[in-house]
Amino acid sequence: MDVQKPFSSPSPRQFAAPAIMMVRPFLLKPQWMNGLSERLLVSHYVNNYGGAIRRLNAIRARLAALDWAAAPGFEINGLKREELIASGSVILHEIYFESLGGHGDNPPTGLEEPSVELAQALERDFGSVMAWRVEFTAMAKALAGGSGWTILAWCERLGRLVNHWAADHAHGLPGATPILAIDMYEHSYHLDFGAKAAAYVDQVMANLNWQRIGARYRLATAEGAGEDKLFVPYGAPEHEEARISAEELKAALEDDVDRRPVLLDLCLPKDLPRRTDMLAGATMHAPAALPRWIEELPRDRPIAVYCVCGFQVSGTAVTELRRRGYNARALIGGITAWHAIGGATVPMDISTYEKAT
């Protein structure tokens, strides 16, 4: 696999730069959302978002090998259309998931409103925040029984925020930057809501993270300096060199045996029922038993630590391991991101897991 920086970690906002499209982690805590189940969110992230990433990388590989002068038009047309659709699906799913979730360990309240700056922009362009909200949710609900996206976007040429519909992941207003997107494909709600798309739209609106949406608006209007930290998972190590992406870990595990990272699977006791599998060769431990398992870790090998989604369980442990001189990195997005890139796993083995004492 062609990954530019093996065993290092780009910032989340630079993920598009490498030769392959890299997965972004959940910023939301899927087990703590209001009225959107973990099963729904994880299935959507792993299968639909992850599927789009995997498809886009496969299409790019085909395009890289294409003989453009000799290829028939139908082959060029087909690949370039599919590339556009997969690219749009990846980017819109990232905007959708990053717009959801609470702050840190807190679930979304459902009561928050846009920041003053974004509220003023919505008022300027739609009359009031409520008028924008009525239009936006009506547009999303109108897609019930169909599919597509409802998008709030900033358009420099029009000089305003606009609500627009998008079909096939490939429908955009030229020159506009999406700020917020609601996925209206049935896969985004059917597990929890059946065909009740309107109830799903209301629940999405109650789970919005206006801090990140506001940051996205400032980034779109080129006033977003210093916003990057909002797009790093809560509790993940602060420094980039202490994090590793799923793609980089996959490449590192294909390295020579003596240079491969040692894999450490950390799981809180209460999260064990959420787990079914693990990375091959990983050893599973309880985070609280660190004084016992740390003695088994080598000092001359890189160590990759992962948890469910890559929040503070692996983040706290990696910070502590690095403080003690170990070459440890936390897997960005945890085993959930690993699933999204199609990484192989084996059934969970808890034989090394410390019993509560």
Which residue ranges make up the site for Fe ion (CB under 5 A)?
Answer: 48, 183, 185, 188
Structure tokens at 42: 């994880």
Quickly list DSSP for 268-287.
-GGGGGG--EE-TT-EEE-G
The distance of closest approach from Cβ of residue 223 to Fe ion in the complex, given in angstroms and rounded to an integer, is 30
The distance of closest approach from Cβ of residue 239 to Fe ion in the complex, given in angstroms and rounded to an integer, is 32
The distance of closest approach from Cβ of residue 351 to Fe ion in the complex, given in angstroms and rounded to an integer, is 37
Name the burial class of residue 240, with classes exposed (0-12), middle (13-18) and buried (19+) by CB atoms within 10 angstroms of its CB. Answer: middle
DSSP code for 354: P
The distance of closest approach from Cβ of residue 10 to Fe ion in the complex, given in angstroms and rounded to an integer, is 24
- Residue (186 or 202) nearer to Fe ion, CB: 186
- Residue (160 or 164) nearer to Fe ion, CB: 164
- Residue (147 or 283) nearer to Fe ion, CB: 147
What single letter denotes the amino acid at residue 259? R
- Residue (165 or 185) nearer to Fe ion, CB: 185
Query: CA 350 to CA 284: how far, in whole Å?
Result: 6
The distance of closest approach from Cβ of residue 108 to Fe ion in the complex, given in angstroms and rounded to an integer, is 19
| C-beta neighbour count of 128 within 10 angstroms | 12
Given a contact cutoff of 8 angstroms between Cβ atoms, the answer to whether 148 and 184 are in contact is: yes
Name the burial class of residue 173, with classes exposed (0-12), middle (13-18) and buried (19+) by CB atoms within 10 angstroms of its CB. Answer: middle
Chain-centre distance for alpha carbon 273: 22
- Residue (8 or 43) nearer to Fe ion, CB: 43
The distance of closest approach from Cβ of residue 44 to Fe ion in the complex, given in angstroms and rounded to an integer, is 6
DSSP code for 44: I
- Residue (10 or 88) nearer to Fe ion, CB: 88
The distance of closest approach from Cβ of residue 164 to Fe ion in the complex, given in angstroms and rounded to an integer, is 18
- Residue (47 or 120) nearer to Fe ion, CB: 47
DSSP code for 228: G
The distance of closest approach from Cβ of residue 49 to Fe ion in the complex, given in angstroms and rounded to an integer, is 7
Q: Which residues pair with 149 in a beta bridge?
A: 166, 183
- Residue (188 or 207) nearer to Fe ion, CB: 188
Structure tokens at 59: 């299409």
The distance of closest approach from Cβ of residue 72 to Fe ion in the complex, given in angstroms and rounded to an integer, is 32
Query: CA 88 to CA 107: how far, in whole Å?
Result: 28
Query: CA 316 to CA 290: how far, in whole Å?
Result: 11
Structure tokens at 349: 């083995």
- Residue (32 or 185) nearer to Fe ion, CB: 185
Query: CA 238 to CA 336: how far, in whole Å?
Result: 20
Query: CA 188 to CA 17: how far, in whole Å?
Result: 28
